[in-house]
Amino acid sequence: MKIICIGRNYANHIKELANERPTEPVVFLKPDSAILPKKMPFFIPAFSNEIHYEVEILVKINRVGKHIAEKFAAKYYDEIGLGIDFTDRELQSKLKEKGLPWEKAKAFDGSAVIGHFYPKENFDLNNLSFQLIHNAKIVQDGNTKNMLWKIDELIAYVSQFFTLKKGDIIFTGTPAGVGKVMKDDFLIGKIEKEEAFQIKIK
């Protein structure tokens, strides 16, 4: 399986990082080795002093597809979830300045938190609220209505470049409120009122 990530999909997050608003989705990949094992804490890697959380709605692909038309995209997933794209912000900034790929800052071991998945029919996917709670304080409070590109648009777009396979996961982008994690922090992710994950930072 592969993890396909979308960057800069919420205008308020683009603004907070002073990035340029894209004219098409920004896409990068994480390997399966980036997945944080279930019930394991996230260990801040030795190479970084600036790991940021980025909470995101996830989509799990349920069948093989290529060049998927947007009007058929809904057939390619039954479940949505919540996760974190952990990012080495300092390293990412250095790589961006040099025009280099982000993978070292985005795809390191444990950088992909994948929480619980839920049947998509339980939610209004175009008006879906989600939150990240950092040490009992809400730090990210997002809603899919604010996506620049909706879920079905993203599936149609990325399937032009990558064959989607059963089990692939799409990270759909993060809203504003990203921030640094420290040792002994505690993160909780929620979709509507459902608790999708808990993560301890070590």
CATH number assigned to the domain covering 3-200: 3.90.850.10
Number of H helices, E strands in the chain: 4, 13
| Distances, alpha carbon 79 to alpha carbons 64, 74, 186, 188, 195, in Å | 15, 10, 26, 20, 15
pLDDT at 18: 64
Nearest C-alpha neighbor of 112 from the set 35, 55, 181: 35
In tens digits, the chain (202 residues) has pLDDT values of 999 999 889 877 766 666 777 789 999 999 999 999 999 999 999 999 899 999 999 999 999 999 999 999 999 999 999 999 999 999 999 998 999 998 999 999 999 999 999 999 999 999 999 999 999 999 999 999 999 999 999 999 999 999 999 999 999 999 999 999 999 999 999 999 899 999 999 9
Task: Calculate the CA 108 to chain-centre distance.
Answer: 14
Pairing label, strands 169-171, 3-7: parallel
DSSP-derived secondary structure letter, 165: -
pLDDT at 122: 95
DSSP-derived secondary structure letter, 201: B
Q: What are phi and psi of 79, to 5 degrees?
A: -130, 150
pLDDT at 24: 94
Separation CA 183–CA 181 (nearest Å): 7
pTM of the model: 0.95
**Quick one: 16 exposed, middle or buried, by C-beta within 10 A (0-12, 13-18, 19+)?**
middle
pLDDT at 14: 65
pLDDT at 178: 95
Domain ranges of the chain: 3-200
The H-or-E segment that residue 112 falls in is strand 112-119
